[in-house]
């Protein structure tokens, strides 16, 4: 069993640290790149996506000028244990709308209705909800009431309604993370560990995978919507 807690200010350290660990553990699912653990670039994305989520959690103090909210699933018997989280961005100019940014559930706590419960809790406050996912997850979210709208890069954009909100979702510019000194240091370490050829192949593998996901999303939406 689990309980849900909604936060609109930065979470306490024990929650923050466990969310960060989940991001590291499940970066393949959370990242838009869908990087595989077998790819030598995997540790770089573990750091990068982890830092993305960390920045959003920090932004919950209002310092970035836009709202960020968090729902945390805690173990009912041990409330110090985080079993899942849902980080979402309320839409500015539309009090009913929001956009899911990141969501994860611990592997040993899946298939217990936790993701469904967190999304339902979010929708009670923001019924016009949006998210993006890879094609293979579309049926999962359709079962929760989301509809396919269109392809968005390597993912499928879904919404609880058949149209997007006209409001604006403010997002952090995460591009500087991937040009930071820390990322360059991680890349240099991986280059030294695997060699230049292996790293070049890893980048090509990542790019091919992204292209494949993008084509897959586009074809899926065309077939699903008939356009």
Q: Per the structure block, which two tokens stand in for 22? A: 């989940």
pLDDT in tens, 203-218: 999 999 999 999 999 9
List Cβ neighbours of 203 (8 Å cut-off, separation of 6 or more). Answer: 41
By C-alpha distance, which of 175, 172, 173 is closest to 67? 172
Compute the Cα dihedral for 158, 66, 85, 127 and give only its sign. Answer: negative
17 class by beta-carbon count within 10 Å (0-12 exposed, 13-18 middle, 19+ buried) = exposed
pLDDT of residue 227: 62
Can you list the domains of the chain with their CATH numbers? 2-225 (3.40.630.30)
pLDDT of residue 214: 97
Rounded alpha-carbon distances, angstroms, from residue 114 to 139, 162, 166, 169, 189: 17, 25, 30, 25, 38
By C-alpha distance, which of 154, 121, 118 is closest to 138? 154
User: What span, in angstroms and rounded, lies between the C-alpha atoms of 72 and 68?
Assistant: 13
Phi first, then psi, for residue 101 (nearest 5°) are -100, -50
pLDDT of residue 108: 92
Compute the Cα dihedral for 179, 103, 105, 55 and give only its sign. Answer: positive
pLDDT of residue 112: 92
pLDDT of residue 24: 95
pLDDT of residue 226: 80
Rounded alpha-carbon distances, angstroms, from residue 137 to 131, 133, 146: 11, 6, 11
Per-position pLDDT tens, the chain of length 227: 999 999 999 999 999 999 999 999 999 999 989 999 999 999 999 999 999 999 999 999 999 999 999 999 999 999 999 999 999 999 999 999 999 999 999 999 999 999 999 999 999 999 999 999 999 999 999 999 999 999 999 999 999 999 999 999 999 999 999 999 999 999 999 999 999 999 999 999 999 999 999 999 999 999 999 86
């Amino acid at each position: 069993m689990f309980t849900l807690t909604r936060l609109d200010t930065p979470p306490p350290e024990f929650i923050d640290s466990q969310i960060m660990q989940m991001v590291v553990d499940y970066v393949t699912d959370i990242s838009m790149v869908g990087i595989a653990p077998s790819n030598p670039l995997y540790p770089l994305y573990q750091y990068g996506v982890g830092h993305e989520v960390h920045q959003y959690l920090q932004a919950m103090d209002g310092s970035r000028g836009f709202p960020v909210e968090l729902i945390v699933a805690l173990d009912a018997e041990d409330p110090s244990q985080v079993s899942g989280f849902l980080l979402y961005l309320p839409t500015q100019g539309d009090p009913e709308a929001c956009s899911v940014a990141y969501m994860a559930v611990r592997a040993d706590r899946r298939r217990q209705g936790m993701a469904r419960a967190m999304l339902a809790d979010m929708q009670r406050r923001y019924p016009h909800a949006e998210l993006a996912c890879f094609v293979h997850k579309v049926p999962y979210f359709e079962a929760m009431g989301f509809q396919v709208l269109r392809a968005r890069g390597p993912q499928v954009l879904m919404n609880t309604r058949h149209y997007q909100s006209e409001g604006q979702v403010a997002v952090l510019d995460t591009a500087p993370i991937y040009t930071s000194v820390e990322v360059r240091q991680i890349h240099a370490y991986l280059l030294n560990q695997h060699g230049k050829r292996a790293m070049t192949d890893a980048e090509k593998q990542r790019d091919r995978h992204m292209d494949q996901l993008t084509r897959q999303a586009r074809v899926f939406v065309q077939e699903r919507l008939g356009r």
